[in-house]
Amino acid sequence: MRLPSALFVLAMTAACSAFSQPASLPERLGYPKGTKLLIVHADDLGVAHSENKASTAAFDRGMVNSASIMVPTPWFAEIASYARANPNADLGLHLTLTSEWKYYKWGPVSGRQKGLQNAQGYMFESVDSVYMSASLAEVETELRGQISKAQNAGIDITHLDSHMGTLFGRPDYLKLMITLGRELKVPVMLFKNGPGSVSFHKLESFLASNDIVADTVVTANPDNFRKGMAEYYSSVLNGLKPGLTVLLIHTAYDDEEMQAITVDHPDWGATWRQADYNFFTSDRCKSILQQQKIQLVTWREIRDKLSRK
C-alpha cells in the first residue's frame, strides 16, 4: 500500500525524530527510561575522624552509597587507608579551596600561594575571599596537587565535585574542573537544576557528548534543619522524579570532636550531621526507597559505563 506523499513525509519525519532523539541517562546506564536514579552522596570525608567513622558506617549499614574526600584536611590519611582497603567504594574528590571552621584549619597542599591563603597560611574561610584573591592558575595548581596526592595515596577516584560549591560559582573555575574530569576520565558533578546550576548553563556549549549531567542536585538548608531533617528527606524521596538526582548530605557523629570543630556554627554542624546519619541508616529511609521504586546508583557505575568508553 502506498501512502499519500504528505502522509509519507510526516511518517518519515516522525521516524527520523524518534531515531535521532538521544537516550536518557537511565537508558544509557541500562535502566528503563522512566527510572528514578539516586546517588546518596556524603560530603567532607577526611575532615575529621567522626566524619570518616560515621560515613563509612553509613556505607555499611545504611543507604549512603557515595562520598567525596577533602584532600587537604587533617584526617585525609585515615580515609585514604579506608579507600585502599575498600577498592570498590564510590569515593571521589571534594576539591577544596576553603577552610571554614572557627578553630579547625588547613592550608593548600601545593605550598604557599598568596591567592589561596590568609596571613596565617590557612585557606580562606569564605568562597568570596577565594574569588577575590585566587588566580585561575593558582586554583589549577592546587586542584592538580590535590588530585596527585589522592592518586599517590592509592585512591581510585570515581568523580569530582567541589567543597562549599566554590568551583560551581564561577564559570572559569567550573570549566577547569570539567577539564580535569575529562583528563581523569571521571564524571564531574554537573547538574541542570540545583545550587550552582547558573554557571553550568553558561557552559552548556562547552560540554561534550560524554560529559555526564545529573537532572537535579538536592541538599538541605538551615530552614530544613530547623523544621526536621527526617521530614525533609522523606519529602525529597517521596517526590523524586525520573532521571538522575544527587542528594548531598553530611554524615558525622554529634560527639565531642565534631562539636569542637563546628563550634559557633549550628548550620552544617555536629547535630545536623548526626541527623543526616540517623535518617540514612534508618528503616524509614529504606522503606521509602522501596515504596518509590528508587534505584540507587553510584558515580563509579556511571564512570565505568559511560566516562571510560
Residue 4 confidence (pLDDT) above 60: no
134 residue type, one letter: A
**Is the CB of residue 144 less than 8 Å from the CB of residue 182?**
no
Q: What radius of gyration, in Å, describes the C-alpha atoms of the chain?
A: 21
Q: Do 208 and 182 touch, CB atoms closer than 8 A?
A: yes
pLDDT classification of 13: cutoffs 50, 70, 90: very low
102, 99, 103, 44: which is closest to 76 by C-alpha?
44
> Taking a C-beta distance cutoff of 8 angstroms, is the pair 271, 298 a contact?
no
pLDDT of residue 21: 57
CA pseudo-torsion sign 25, 182, 303, 76: negative
Q: Where are the domains of the chain?
A: 23-307
Burial, 152: exposed, middle or buried (Cβ in 10 Å; 0-12, 13-18, 19+)? exposed
Question: What is the rounded distance in angstroms from the CA atom of residue 42 to the CA atom of residue 272?
Answer: 13
Provide, rounded to the nearest whole percent, the portion of the chain with pLDDT above 90.
Answer: 85
CA dist., res. 160 & res. 157, Å (int):
8
From the options 3.30.499.10, 3.90.550.10, 3.20.20.370, 3.40.250.10, give the CATH code of 23-307.
3.20.20.370
Q: How many residues make up the chain in this entry?
A: 309
Q: What is the pLDDT of residues 91-150, one digit of tens each?
A: 999 999 999 999 999 999 998 889 999 999 999 999 999 999 999 999 999 999 999 999
pLDDT in tens, 23-41: 899 999 999 999 999 999 9
